[in-house]
Amino acid sequence: MPRPIVATIHVDSMKHNLARAKANAPGAKAWGVLKANGYGHGLERAMRGFADADGLALVEVDYAVRLREMGWNKPILLLEGYFDPADLETMADYGLQAAVHCNEQLEWLEAAQADLSARGVQFDLHLKMNSGMNRLGFMPDAYAAAHARLSAMSCVGSITMITHFANADDAEHPLLPIAEQVRRFELGTAGLAGSRSLSNSAGVLMHQKTLRNDWIRPGIMLYGGSPGGATAESFGLQPCMTLSSEIIGIQNIVAGDVVGYGSRFQAEGPMRIGVVACGYADGYPRSAPMGTPALVDGVRTRLVGRVSMDMLTVDLTDLPSARVGSKVTLWGQGMPIDEVATAAGTIGYELMCALAQRVPVVEG
Ligand SMILES: *Cc1c(COP(=O)(O)O)cnc(C)c1O
C-alpha cells in the first residue's frame, strides 16, 4: 500500500468557481490564471477546469507552450511578458500574448519588429501600468509614451491596458487604497483607446460594481481560495484541492508527557495522540502551530506538537472511535485551506502552490 497521503483535485469545482467569476463581472471576458502549475492543482487539470474561460494566463513560457501542445486554442497570456528576445520567437510560434512592462521589452520588440512584420507576425500585447504597487509596469506619466511606441510597430496588434492591485481585499488601506490605484490608472490611460484589464480575484469579488474591466484576471478564487476580506464559502466558492491522509499510529500519554521535536507540547492530563502521515515534505507548513485545525473522520480537532518532515500529531482525546486508518483531512472539503493558512501565518495561495511532488494526486 502506498503511504496514505493523497491530494484530490475537484475539477468540477473549478468550473463552478469560474462561473462565479464570470457572474460577478457581466460582460467581461475572463482569463483563467493558472500560473504555478495551476496554483498547485496541475496544469492540465486547470486547463480542463477552465475550459469555459476566454483565455488562460500564466508566467511560465514553457508551460504556455505545453498548453498549446495539449490543445488549448484560445488566447494565452504571459503575465510577466517575455524574458528575452528569444521568447518573441516562442510567442510567434505558439501564438502567445504577453504583458509589456518595461523599456527593455519595448527595445527587444523594436529590434525584432522588421523581421517579425516581414513574416506576418502580429502580437496582441498588454501594456502594464505601475499604478502604485511598484512591482511591474510603467509609471502613469510614462504610460502614454510607451503606448505610442507599441502602437508605432506593425508587429503589434491589439494593446490592452492593464494594471494590478496591491490591496483589492482592503478598500480602506491607509497607504494604497484601490481607489488611488484606479485614479492613477485613469490618469495614465486618459485619451488612450483599447481594452482594459484590472481585476484579480479580490477585484472581481469585492469591487465588481466600481471597476470597468474588459478582461478580468481571477486566480485564487477559481481554486476555491479566498483572496482575503471574507471566507471562500461566503463568496460562493468551492474548494478544488483536498489534502487527506490517515492516522498511522496512536500514543496514549499522561500528564507531563511531551510530544514531538523540541517537546513543545506537554500534556496536562491523559491524552490520545494521533500520528498523521503528512509533514512539511508533503507541503504542509511547518509553521502551523499547536491548535491548527484538522478533521479526523470528519470531526474537527487540533494539531499538537511540531509538524515534522513526514508526520504531524493531532489530539484524539475527544475522538474515542478514531483508530489507525481513520481518515484525516488537512485542508479542502470540510476544512477551509484559508483557516489552516491563517493559523500558519500564511495564505491559502502558498499552501496550494507548495503541494509537494511526492504527494499522489487523484481527481474526484
Ligand atoms: C496571479 C495574478 C493574478 C491572479 O491573482 P489572484 O489574486 O490569484 O486572483 C492576476 N493578475 C496578475 C498579473 C497576476 O500575476
What are the extents of the domains in the chain? 11-223, 241-363
Distances (CA, A) of 153 to 94, 95, 107, 264: 20, 18, 11, 63
User: Which pLDDT band holds residue 204 (cuts at 50, 70, 90)?
Assistant: very high
**Two domains, one topology: 11-223 and 241-363:** no
**Nearest atom (ligand 1) to Cα of 349:** 8
Residue 137 has pLDDT above 90, yes or no: yes
CATH architecture of 11-223: Alpha-Beta Barrel (3.20)
Confidence of residue 350 (pLDDT cuts 50, 70, 90): very high
Q: Which of 18, 24, 33, 220 to mutate to test the pocket of ligand 1 (most atoms within 8 A of CB)?
A: 33
**Is the confidence at residue 337, as pLDDT, over 90?**
yes
Distance from the alpha carbon of residue 200 to the mean position of ligand 1, in angstroms: 5
Quickly state the pLDDT bin for 209 (edges 50, 70, 90).
confident
Residues marked as catalytic? 35, 261
309 appears as a binding residue in the annotation: yes
pLDDT (average), residues 43-59: 98
Please list, residue by residue across 223-239, b when 16 or more beta carbons sit within 10 angstroms of its beta carbon and e when fewer do: bbbbbbeeebeebebbb
Q: pLDDT tens digit string along 224-280?
A: 999 999 999 999 999 999 999 999 999 999 999 999 999 999 999 999 999 999 999
- Strand duo 97-100 + 123-129: pairing: parallel
39, 181, 199, 200: which to mutate for ligand 1, most atoms within 8 A of CB? Answer: 200
User: 33: Cβ below 6 Å to ligand 1?
Assistant: yes
Supply the pLDDT for residue 18. Answer: 98
Confidence tier at 171 by pLDDT (50, 70, 90): confident
Instruction: Indicate the DSSP class of residue 25.
Output: S
AA identity, residue 305 = G
Could you give phi then psi for residue 100, rounded to 5 degrees?
Answer: -125, 115
31 neighbors 72 (Cβ within 8 angstroms): no
Return the pLDDT at 80.
Answer: 98
CA of 218 from ligand 1 middle (Å) equals 6
- Position 329 scores a pLDDT of 99
Ligand 1 atom with least separation from CA of 200: 9
Per-residue pLDDT of 65-118, as tens digits, reads: 999 999 999 999 999 999 999 999 999 999 999 999 999 999 999 999 999 999
pLDDT at 181 > cutoff 90: yes
DSSP 138: B
The pLDDT value recorded for residue 175 is 96
- Contact indicator for 192, 161 with CB cutoff of 8 Å: yes
**Ligand 1 atom at minimum distance from 225 CA:** 8
Q: Look at the domain 241-363 and name its fold.
A: Lyase, Ornithine Decarboxylase; Chain A, domain 1 (2.40.37)
The answer to whether the CB of 132 is under 6 A from ligand 1 is: no
